[in-house]
A and B are shown apart, each in its own frame.
Chain A
């Protein structure tokens, strides 16, 4: 498909009739337009002509009633029209799609007040409605349109290819395999599976017509029915499993978005618990404090009691010293008295001189008396009693304990106040949240996970049953093979052929898919190396879903990539698909350079002519400067247009060069 011209009538901001005539030669055409002038509308006009749809950036349908030009609508003219002229395989086509107000409706208010008409003229002849659909789906199937009508803002969809089990990833994978021609083989495999089923049924019937094989034929038919039942059940469970996986992925995606919310809700819940714990600790400490304060008066006496205890203890120590000395003194006096009475020294036995006796008598007189010792003992006993009495008075100084409790309580209160502030903050942030919705989301995610486990078990069970039944069918067929008649032989030959064809095409699907992946990986890597400005990136590695991961020169994979790198990878994939697809068509790119720096923009622009025969770029000037485009594209730049503002609701397309 090669676009020749597009004519828009009252479509979006394009008031009246606006026409772009595209050059006949392959190359790049650029339409410049600032934001809100109608670049995306131009992309949508092509989409509308081909598929009857107008989409928003979020892939939502735009109501017909909203598409017509607002200025003409205010003037009482409703409806719009797009005419797309193109060439395909040597034929000239003119596709017209028009949205008109239904007869009898004076002022349309909704889509029900409009009707759509579509015509396809091929080489001058208008095609019938069924041929129109068949022709269009052959030229540009809607399922692969994402690779031709490319919205730079929707690049995140390509990231889905890297995530297994994602619904979007699955759809894109299907689109890729479709564009690459795999359905030729997958459809053949499905049709041959059905053909084999029919052939086996014929074999059963043929066997039942023969007296010798009637019973085997009946068993065969029953076994086939049982197999079909289990296969239907397996398909049902497999479908449910895919749905459950898609549901799980969708919930994961939603959970990722609400992760912050969930974190806030969890934090809020923890804060409430922590505040309650602080309250409990404060209560406990306050209880202890009250008890401590009840004995606090004793602290007033503590100093005096301590002083008295210390004084008594000192006295006691003194009295004990004196008592010890008194006892020693009494002992010495006794030994002197014995020496005086005996007239000789009790130690050495020498006789005492009178002078010595006099001295000893003097010494005896100066020693303590027994009365003194008894007096001291009495005083010691008295002091000990007083000390014991004082020690029995509980005058522990609990001031420090009280202070420590107060300090703890203050500390907990400060902590609690911090928590309270944070809680108030979170309550403010979450006040408009539907908590039940978030909790429901988690419950739904958990349910999807549980469903997946149950379904996987069910699938295993069905697979086992199918294997058993198929083994049984094979046994019956071996028995039937011992008999022969014309009918049965014919049915058997058909079945054998279908069996082989089915196996052959099943092997073909796997082989072709591997081949496609290898080629897409090779071509995408080749393009990626041309597009990237990072010399350390060696290429791309493809996954099961055709998702591409950057490979570093050292062989390691680069798991996380920037928005710009993501963009370059997506463009590489698009280019590789174009190179390998049997289908050829124009690539229309809306704002494709928004995420790219100058170096990458330069490389991508330079590589564009190699991606497809016809490329229509819809860009704003700061995204791609006209001088830069001319410099990079040189002769491959075929034409430049500009969307000119006439009013907020009126744009016109002018040819620059």
Chain B
């Protein structure tokens, strides 16, 4: 199964059930978890940062 399958599965579910969640944030979380699979503490920190950055950008946009 290609690595893209995880991202593809997530995008399908997002589109169908959570369209309000930004696709780029979901893709970023998937990438973080893939890159830091053996370093969960770092992965958690980076997921938090991704959420912060998204909220900041939304605030700035608003």
A184-B37 contact in complex given A195-B48, A504-B26, C-beta closer than 8 Å: yes
Contact present for B1 and A582 (CB under 8 Å)? yes
Contact present for B21 and A187 (CB under 8 Å)? no
Contact present for B51 and A580 (CB under 8 Å)? no
CB distance from B34 to the nearest CB of A (A): 5
Contact present for B44 and A581 (CB under 8 Å)? no
Determine the residue in chain A with the shortest Cβ distance to B14: A504
What 1/0 flags go to A488-515 for Cβ under 8 Å of B? 0010011001101101110110011001
Bound-state Cα–Cα, A308 to B29, Å: 118
In-complex Cβ contact of A504 among B18, B33, B39, B43 (8 A): B18
In-complex Cβ contact of B10 among A187, A190, A508, A579 (8 A): A508
Bound-state Cα–Cα, A422 to B58, Å: 85
Contact present for A493 and B55 (CB under 8 Å)? yes
A226 at the interface (CB under 8 A from B): no
* Number of residue pairs A-B, CB distance < 8 angstroms: 97
Contact present for A515 and B5 (CB under 8 Å)? yes
CB distance from A96 to the nearest CB of B (A): 21
A138 at the interface (CB under 8 A from B): yes
Q: How many residues of A contact B (CB 8 A)?
A: 38
Determine the residue in chain B with the shortest Cβ distance to A501: B21
CB-CB under 8 A from B48, the residues of chain A are 195, 198
Contact present for A134 and B2 (CB under 8 Å)? no
Contact present for B26 and A501 (CB under 8 Å)? yes
A181-B3 contact in complex given A497-B51, A508-B13, C-beta closer than 8 Å: yes
Bound-state Cα–Cα, A507 to B12, Å: 11
Contact present for A184 and B17 (CB under 8 Å)? no
In-complex Cβ contact of A181 among B1, B12, B29 (8 A): B1
A191 at the interface (CB under 8 A from B): yes
Q: For residues 578 through 595 of chain A, which have their beta carbon under 8 Å from a beta carbon of chain B?
A: 579-582
CB-CB under 8 A from B47, the residues of chain A are 188, 191-192, 195
Determine the residue in chain B with the shortest Cβ distance to A510: B13
A141 at the interface (CB under 8 A from B): yes
A512-B9 contact in complex given A138-B38, A180-B1, A500-B18, C-beta closer than 8 Å: yes
CB distance from B41 to the nearest CB of A (A): 10
Q: For residues 2 through 32 of chain B, which have their beta carbon under 8 Å from a beta carbon of chain A?
A: 2-3, 5-6, 9-10, 12-14, 17-18, 20-21, 25-26, 29-30, 32
Determine the residue in chain B with the shortest Cβ distance to A508: B10
CB distance from A638 to the nearest CB of B (A): 27
In-complex Cβ contact of B51 among A138, A195, A490, A508 (8 A): A195
A582-B2 contact in complex given A504-B17, A504-B18, C-beta closer than 8 Å: yes
A519 at the interface (CB under 8 A from B): yes
Determine the residue in chain B with the shortest Cβ distance to A186: B33
Bound-state Cα–Cα, A519 to B2, Å: 12
Bound-state Cα–Cα, A187 to B43, Å: 9
Contact present for B51 and A184 (CB under 8 Å)? no
A448 at the interface (CB under 8 A from B): no
A516-B10 contact in complex given A184-B33, A188-B33, A500-B21, C-beta closer than 8 Å: no
CB-CB under 8 A from A515, the residues of chain B are 5, 9
Contact present for B20 and A500 (CB under 8 Å)? yes
CB distance from A49 to the nearest CB of B (A): 19
CB-CB under 8 A from B18, the residues of chain A are 500, 503-504
In-complex Cβ contact of B38 among A141, A494, A511 (8 A): A141
Contact present for A511 and B26 (CB under 8 Å)? no
Q: For residues 110 through 157 of chain A, which have their beta carbon under 8 Å from a beta carbon of chain B?
A: 134, 137-138, 141
A185-B14 contact in complex given A134-B38, A192-B47, C-beta closer than 8 Å: no
A511-B51 contact in complex given A184-B34, A501-B29, A504-B18, C-beta closer than 8 Å: no
Determine the residue in chain A with the shortest Cβ distance to B6: A184
CB-CB under 8 A from B32, the residues of chain A are 188
CB-CB under 8 A from A137, the residues of chain B are 38
CB distance from B49 to the nearest CB of A (A): 11
A342 at the interface (CB under 8 A from B): no
Bound-state Cα–Cα, A490 to B52, Å: 11
Can you list 29 A-B contacts (CB < 8 A)? A134-B39, A138-B38, A181-B3, A184-B6, A184-B34, A187-B37, A190-B40, A191-B40, A191-B44, A191-B47, A192-B29, A194-B44, A493-B58, A494-B55, A500-B21, A501-B21, A503-B18, A504-B10, A504-B13, A504-B18, A504-B26, A508-B9, A508-B13, A512-B9, A515-B5, A515-B9, A516-B1, A519-B1, A579-B1
Using A192-B29, A490-B59, A494-B55 as known contacts, list a sample of 11 further A-B pairs with CB atoms less than 8 Å apart, ordered by residue number in A.
A180-B1, A181-B5, A185-B30, A500-B18, A505-B10, A511-B9, A512-B5, A512-B6, A515-B9, A519-B1, A582-B1
**A positions within 8 Å CB-CB of B:** 134, 137-138, 141, 180-181, 183-185, 187-188, 190-192, 194-195, 198, 490, 493-494, 497-498, 500-501, 503-505, 507-508, 511-512, 515-516, 519, 579-582
Closest 8 CB pairs of A and B: A580-B1, A137-B38, A184-B33, A582-B3, A191-B44, A188-B33, A512-B9, A191-B47
